[in-house]
Amino acid sequence: MKRIILIMCCFLSVFAWADDGRTTISLNGEWDFDQTELAFPPRKYTRKIPVPGLVHLARPKISQYEKFFKKPDGVELVEQFNFLERDYTPMYNWYKRKVFIDEKFKDEQLFLTIKKSQYVTRVFVNGHEVGASMECYTPMDFNITSAVKYGSDNEILIQVGDRAWLPSEAAGGTDKEKVHYLPGIWDDVFITATGKMWVDKVLFLPSLAKGLVTVKTLVRSLYPPQMLYGDKMKDSCKIEFCVKEKTTGRIVGKKMIEGEAKRDNRTYFETSISLDNPKAWTPDSPFLYEGEVSVYDQDELVDRYSVNFGMRDFSRKGKFFTLNGDKFYLRGSNITLQRFFEDPDCQALAWDREWVKKLMVDLPKSIDWNAMRICVGIVPDFWYDLCDEYGIVLQNEWLYWQNHGWDEQVRKEYTNWVWSDGNHPSIVIWDAINENWDSYIGNTLIPELKELDPTRIWDAGYMTSDQMGTNDEMDEPHPYRALTLMHSSELNDYFKNNPYNLGALHENWVGFSSILDAGVPQLVNEYGWIWLWRDGRPSKLTLNNYNYYLGENATPEQCRELQAYWLELETEWLRSERSVGGILAFVI
């Protein structure tokens, strides 16, 4: 039975919900905020900021706001940007608030979770540093038990750094078409109270064909480690797994296992649960189940955690994808949220549920799209929840375009990524790399992560079977032409001698033969690079192209008409090649 608790503190409301064994206190809402040039907290906080929300949402505005968001008077022809060549001063960003912690939690273990924060995050509670993390796109858990004052207000202070300070080992790639990387806390923040054992991570992995769910979980023991000879190293526990229909609450599967949890460590458990006549998750009928994990310590319930998942089998057969055994053709576009963060019109839209639903669900379904690619950087967790609930399939891409990160840290962050996002039935493709090659990721890490999650397909950027052998599950051909000449004075001559035959691009696109010869699905998840700004002006990358075809004084209406014509012909050409497994235009 879920209990709702309302705690009032310092004129701020903190919402908590309890599910026998676990209490969660949401810290979303307004925080005090300010910036400093040196790594010391401000003496006075002069701004407020919403959490989640990046630093551009602070009010009053941050002092360098105009440097991040000034719109140019005219289009500047720029091919790429080096984020180390900064036009601003990097700042430390400080989030502060107080929260009352009731005495009843005195015997509990308390963790502060930040689902996503960029870049380099340090957490202090009542003046004590409780942890730091360089991860930007996966949840961070900080044990705050020893720093908390019970029956009193507690000051929580979070420091977030600048992209320029992200350590070399961090798996945080760069996007050469971005100018600025806005820092901040950009997903939910909450405190969790549990017993001495808690569900750290869990995956409910479906097999619709077998009517089976494989459950993998990491249980973290918070008992102190063995200190003296003869002290205990492990504790016995029982773990109960339960599967319910999300809408009705009807239990359709349950199982209890016993084991031992290693003290002050994480212990892996795995089991499987049979379901009678499971209902399939599809874009047309996105049926959801709730998977629940309960941990018992000495027969006492100490933690209970639940996630939503769907029964669906996504795979490949020859050159095509399949969903629940049937051929499935992906139709849709791309979302580049990290780029949208730079747009002055972005504001808080990325955290507005109705706006996101319109973008990710309503508009795509209105034109019969069934898929979207989350491109060069993932999104807040509730975006995936919406796609789960309403039925949109996703290719989910890490922010890895230009290389950044040491192998072991990449392994850690990608593994956390699979654990944290792996219950979403909408995510059917893990996209490890964008338009690049990385032998460690393609040939070592992806096979390892396939062991953790065998229910999805992996895309490794421009790596094909030539570099990956049998590890290659799909390719992402991008039919862009004349890219090396895009900003060259030779571009016009090139187009005169090599007309862009929009109805038969195979005649002069050298990559077309690779689509025909490949033995794995070919997902064209980028094409149509004749981009425009929202106001109808050419983008920085395509200025020369519009000038060539329309002249330098073309109106926004003329530019939009050319773009629509171009995309129409290119889309139909791609659709006419029936060996392609899907087409996703770049970009919304």
DSSP string, 446-466: HHHHHHH-TTSEEEETT--HH
d(CA 173, CA 399): 5
pLDDT tens across 520-542, in order? 999 999 998 789 998 999 988 88
2 has a pLDDT exceeding 50: no
More confident residue, 207 or 82: 207
Structural domain count of the chain? 4
Average pLDDT over residues 18-22: 75
Q: What integer pLDDT is reported at residue 83 of this predicted model?
A: 79
Residue 120 belongs to some domain of the structure: yes
pLDDT in tens, 395-418: 999 999 988 899 999 999 999 999
The predicted-structure confidence for 338-372, as pLDDT tens digits, reads as follows 999 999 899 999 999 999 999 999 999 999 999 99
Same domain? For 341 and 305 the reply is no
Tracing tokens 């669900």 back to the chain, one arrives at 361
Same domain, 390 and 467: yes
Residue 287 lies in a domain: yes
- Contact by Cβ (8 Å): 137, 163: no
For 442, list phi and psi in degrees, rounded to 5.
-70, -40
269, burial (CB in 10 Å: exposed 0-12, middle 13-18, buried 19+):
buried
Residue 488: pLDDT band (50, 70, 90) is low
Hey, how many other C-beta atoms are within 10 angstroms of the C-beta on 557? 9
- Is residue 53 included in any domain, yes or no? yes
Domain C-terminal end among 440, 474, 508: 474
Residue 323 resides in a domain = no
User: How many helices and strands in the chain, by DSSP H and E?
Assistant: 13, 32
Residue 333 has pLDDT above 60, yes or no: yes
Which CATH number goes with the domain that contains 301? 2.60.40.10
Work out the number of other CB atoms within 10 angstroms of the CB of residue 417: 21
Contact 50, 348 (CB under 8 A): yes
Task: Please check whether residue 394 lies inside any domain of the structure.
Answer: yes
Q: What does the pLDDT average to over 133-161? A: 97
Which of 474, 494, 525 lies at the terminal end of a domain, its last residue?
474
Per-residue pLDDT, 16: 59
Q: Does the pLDDT value for residue 19 go beyond 70?
A: no
Please give the residue range of the domain that contains residue 133.
23-194
Which contiguous run of DSSP H or E holds residue 215?
A: strand 212-221
Residue 517 pLDDT exceeds 60: yes
Amino acid at 560: R
Do both 286 and 364 map to the same domain?
Answer: no
pLDDT one-digit tens code per residue, 435-475: 999 999 999 999 999 999 999 999 999 999 999 999 999 99
- Percentage above 70 pLDDT, the chain: 93
In this structure, the answer to whether residues 340 and 450 fall within a common structural domain is yes
Question: Could you give the CA distance from residue 488 to residue 476 in angstroms, rounded to a whole number?
Answer: 26
Question: Do 480 and 334 reside in the same domain of the chain?
Answer: no
Lowest mean pLDDT segment, chosen from 14-28, 111-125, 134-148, 408-422: 14-28
Same-domain status, 421 and 433: yes
Side-chain half-sphere exposure of 261, counting CA atoms within 13 A: 28
Please state the rounded mean pLDDT for residues 87-93.
Answer: 95
Q: Report, as an integer, the average pLDDT of 257-271.
A: 98
Three-class DSSP category at 402: strand
Contact 334, 375 (CB under 8 A): yes
Q: Are residues 524 and 384 in the same domain?
A: no
| Residue 395 and residue 447 in one domain | yes
Task: Identify the pLDDT of residue 500.
Answer: 65
Q: 548 falls in which pLDDT band (50, 70, 90)?
A: confident
Given this model, what pLDDT does residue 84 score?
A: 82
pLDDT value at position 232?
94
| Residues ≥6 apart with Cβ < 8 Å to 496 | none
In a domain, 13, yes or no: no
Q: How many CB atoms lie within 10 A of CB 259?
A: 15
E strand or H helix that includes residue 393: strand 393-397
Tell me which of 194, 209, 244 is where a domain ends: 194
190 domain-assigned: yes
**Whether residue 333 sits in one domain with residue 304:** no
Mean pLDDT of the chain: 92
pLDDT of amino acid 481? 66
Given a cut of 50, is residue 216 above it in pLDDT?
yes
Residues 559 and 533 in one domain: yes
Tell me if the pTM is above 0.75: yes
* Band (142; pLDDT cuts 50, 70, 90): very high
- Give yes or no: residues 70 and 190 share one domain: yes
Closest residue by Cα to residue 480 from 542, 572, 552, 557: 542
Residue 236 and residue 137 share a domain? no
Q: Of 62-76, 80-94, 127-141, which range is least confident? A: 62-76
Query: CA triplet 369, 373, 378: central angle to 5 degrees?
Result: 140
CATH number at residue 372: 3.20.20.80
Q: Looking at the domain assignment, is residue 17 inside a domain?
A: no
The CATH code of the domain that includes 122 is: 2.60.120.260
